[in-house]
Structure formats: structure tokens, C-alpha cells
């Protein structure tokens, strides 16, 4: 389970991470294309179908997780078969292939975003600093929980990191 919290970044964020001892892991650029149907059935239920560098990914909220706290919890599907099965149920469309389902359900591109991401690690957290091609900047603190029972501990770790980052 991916547990994450977004935060606002500015020119002081990266130097603060370095000062706190964060280790730079990578810098990469990628393009995400987001898809939904005409009714935004996926997006309005906090489900995100995207294609990143030619691979489909589906982020779905963790069942029975409160949606009004400061952190989000998603299960990320990266296998086309898993994505297909989820979308068949969610959109009520039958198909044996993801590309066929996308056509049948009239799922279309609604956003295309190119992002440069700098990733750091610090105290059990991955911290991403994202800058998009249209000027939007956002940070994300992420902790992976092996099971739903570990979400509370992941949230505490994220909260501690949030305090350090101000």
C-alpha cells in the first residue's frame, strides 16, 4: 500500500533536505497521460488511469480508508491484466484486452503532463520533488506499507517527516 502526503515546495525545500541528510536517489523526466470516460467515472471516484512512458498504471484508493485526512493511500496496479479486471468491474464493460476496453468504454485522454522528478530518501521515506512542464511544483512524502495493518505506522513516519520539512 502506497501511503503518501503532498506538500508545497519552494526554493528552500531541496537545500533543507540535503541539510537534514537526505540521500539523492535519482532525477528523471517522464510524461503521464491520464484517461477517463466522458462522465469522469474514474477520476470522480479517486481512481487514476494513466500511461507513463508507454506502460499503463492504475491507482485505486485503499478500501475503507478515510478520504478526508492529510494523506492518501493507494493500491497501484501495474499489470495490464489487473488493470483490465478492475476497469471491467468499474466501467461495466467487457473486453479481453486493455486496449479494446479503452475503446469500448470510450475512455479518452484528458491530461498530458511532463514532470521532472528529483527523488531523495531520508528516515524510511521517499521524498519526491516534482516540477511539471507548465510550472506546477509539488512535493510528496511516501512510505510503503506491506499491509493495511501497517498504514498507521506509515502515517506516523510521514507526519514526523512533515514536521522536519516545516
Q: Compute how many other C-beta atoms are within 10 angstroms of the C-beta atom of residue 9.
A: 21
Q: Considering the entire predicted model, what is its pTM?
A: 0.76
pLDDT at 148: 82
Residue 152 CB-density burial (10 A; 0-12 exposed, 13-18 middle, 19+ buried): exposed
pLDDT at 69: 56
pLDDT at 38: 93
pLDDT single digits (tens) 13-71:
999 999 999 999 999 999 999 999 999 999 999 999 999 988 999 999 887 655 545 56
For the chain, the average pLDDT equals 91
Domain 2-165 adopts which CATH fold? Hypothetical Protein Pfu-838710-001 (2.40.320)
Q: Find the mean pLDDT for residues 101-117.
A: 93
Domain range list for the chain = 2-165
Q: Determine contact, residues 141/124, Cβ cutoff 8 Å.
A: no
- Above 70 in pLDDT, residue 113? yes
3-state secondary structure 82-111: HHHHHHHHHHCCCCCCHHHHHHHCCCEEEE
DSSP class of residue 68 equals: S
pLDDT at 71: 63
pLDDT at 31: 95
Start-to-end C-alpha separation, the chain: 25
Q: Find the mean pLDDT for residues 76-93.
A: 93
- Above 80 in pLDDT, residue 86? yes
Amino acid at each position: 500500500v502506497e501511503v503518501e502526503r503532498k506538500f508545497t515546495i519552494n526554493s528552500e525545500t531541496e537545500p533543507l533536505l540535503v541539510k537534514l541528510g537526505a540521500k539523492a536517489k535519482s532525477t528523471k523526466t517522464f510524461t503521464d497521460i491520464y484517461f477517463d470516460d466522458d462522465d469522469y467515472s474514474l477520476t470522480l471516484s479517486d481512481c487514476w488511469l494513466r500511461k507513463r512512458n508507454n506502460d499503463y498504471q492504475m491507482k485505486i484508493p485503499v478500501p475503507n480508508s478515510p478520504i478526508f485526512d492529510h494523506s492518501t493511500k493507494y493500491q497501484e496496479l501495474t499489470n495490464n491484466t489487473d488493470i483490465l479486471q478492475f476497469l471491467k468491474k468499474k466501467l461495466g464493460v467487457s473486453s479481453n484486452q486493455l486496449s479494446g476496453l479503452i475503446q469500448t468504454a470510450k475512455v479518452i485522454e484528458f491530461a498530458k503532463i511532463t514532470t521532472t522528478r528529483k527523488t531523495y530518501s531520508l528516515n524510511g521515506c521517499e521524498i519526491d520533488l516534482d516540477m511539471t512542464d507548465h510550472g506546477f511544483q509539488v512535493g510528496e512524502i511516501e512510505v510503503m506499507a506491506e499491509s493495511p495493518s501497517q498504514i498507521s505506522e506509515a502515517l506516523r513516519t510521514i507526519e514526523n517527516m512533515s514536521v522536519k520539512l516545516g
